[in-house]
Amino acid sequence: MSDNKKLIGSVIFGLAAGAAIGILFAPEKGAQTRRKISYTTTNLFNHLIARLDEGKLVLNKFRGKAMEKFDTYKDMAMRNADNTFEDAETEVDYLKRKEKQSVYHS
């Protein structure tokens, strides 16, 4: 994820720097320069939105996988807890019977 952040930052910085240099060194009229600024800004914004959408997809995919794993482990834990409870009940019943037998045989 860190590499994606670096890439996005580099792309944005590169686009902004390129636009600024192009505007500073281009001997064009003000209206034309404003159109270029508008065009570059729009392209930069659209690129950023596209990258954010890609990031959302990745996060949603990760979230889905994480929830699947969580549900799997939760189910396993619940089964283990149920089994442990049943084992404890069985042991208590056994000890009760054993106690009754020892009382009657004493």
For the chain, how far is it from start to end, CA to CA, in angstroms? Answer: 72
Residues listed for the chain: 106
pLDDT score recorded for residue 72: 94
pLDDT tens digits, one per residue of 40-99: 888 888 988 998 899 999 999 999 999 999 999 999 999 998 889 888 899 888 888 888
Question: Could you identify the residue written with the tokens 């042991």?
Answer: 91
Place 29 in a pLDDT band, splitting at 50, 70 and 90.
confident
pLDDT score recorded for residue 45: 86
pLDDT score recorded for residue 5: 76
Structure-model confidence comparison of residues 100 and 70, the more confident one: 70
Place 26 in a pLDDT band, splitting at 50, 70 and 90.
low
pLDDT tens digits, one per residue of 80-96: 988 898 888 998 888 88
Judged on CB neighbours under 10 Å (0-12, 13-18, 19+), 33 is: middle
**pTM of structure:** 0.46
Domain range list for the chain: 2-104
